[in-house]
Amino acid sequence: MALMGPGASMVLFARHVTTAAHILALVVAILMIVWVVHYQGGANINSEDSNTVFNVHPLVMCLGFILMIGEAIMVYKTFPMHRIGQKMIHMMLQFFALVLGIFGIYVAFKYHSMSETQNMTTLHSWLGICTICLFGLQWLFGFLVFWCPKAPEMTREMAAPVHVTAGIGIFFMTICTAETGLMEKSIAPNSLSEGQVINFTGLFILLFGVAVTVTVALRRISV
């Protein structure tokens, strides 16, 4: 039996890490849904209960923003297709994440209005606004430079490492924002089991972020 070379071993390891990232994303989604539905009584943007309205925020920001961004980053490992197709899926997933992120922030402001509490008073809210603004600028930059009207090839080659690095940095800002939000909720949970679900959700979100970053790093090494 022939032994695998370093390059083949790196590709195989990258596939395992990518698979682990997908599994972590699934675990995070399940934990978030369990927390919102079982412990928080569900989520409804049209509810007259401000807490039920607020529950839409973590659900959307986790499943529709953080996890979707991570999957969009890993699209080059997940979809074995032509480069243009990968770029298209990457761009569309990021766009949907941006739309859902803006919607999630709207929900938070609606909750504050219904509960008559002030906006932008916590580190979580500050990080959230900074993150969504930077993410929007990152998407616009990528669209204009790499898609339409599309910069010259030399400019794209120079911009690509900056785009990738900035994307990972902003992605980890979403992780930090989620962690601070979950920390606020874990201070006084309704039960011990709810506190454990919140903490495990935060832990697996962090592990998901690490797995996505490692996937990107391995992809660049193995290219």
The CATH code of the domain that includes 83 is 1.20.120.1770
Please identify every stretch of the chain with a pLDDT value under 50, giving residue numbers as ranges.
1-3
Whether 3 is in a domain gets the answer no
Please state whether the predicted TM-score (pTM) of the whole model is above 0.75. yes
Number of structural domains (the chain) is: 1
Burial of 104 (0-12, 13-18, 19+ CB in 10 A): buried
Distance CA 159, CA 141 (A): 10
Whether 1 is in a domain gets the answer no
Q: What's the confidence (pLDDT) of residue 8?
A: 65
Instruction: Give the tens place of pLDDT for each residue, 101-113.
Output: 999 999 999 999 9
Q: What's the confidence (pLDDT) of residue 4?
A: 52
Q: What's the confidence (pLDDT) of residue 143?
A: 94
Whether 2 is in a domain gets the answer no
Classified as helix, coil or strand, 94 is helix
Instruction: Give the tens place of pLDDT for each residue, 166-212.
Output: 999 999 999 999 999 999 999 888 899 999 999 999 999 999 999 99
DSSP labels, 158-206: HHHHHHHHHHHHHHHHHHHHHHHHHHHHHSS-SSHHHHHHHHHHHHHHH
Q: What's the confidence (pLDDT) of residue 6?
A: 57
Q: What's the confidence (pLDDT) of residue 86?
A: 87
Q: What's the confidence (pLDDT) of residue 80?
A: 75
Whether 49 is in a domain gets the answer yes
Whether 154 is in a domain gets the answer yes
Q: What's the confidence (pLDDT) of residue 2?
A: 45
Query: What residues make up the domain containing 206?
Result: 8-222
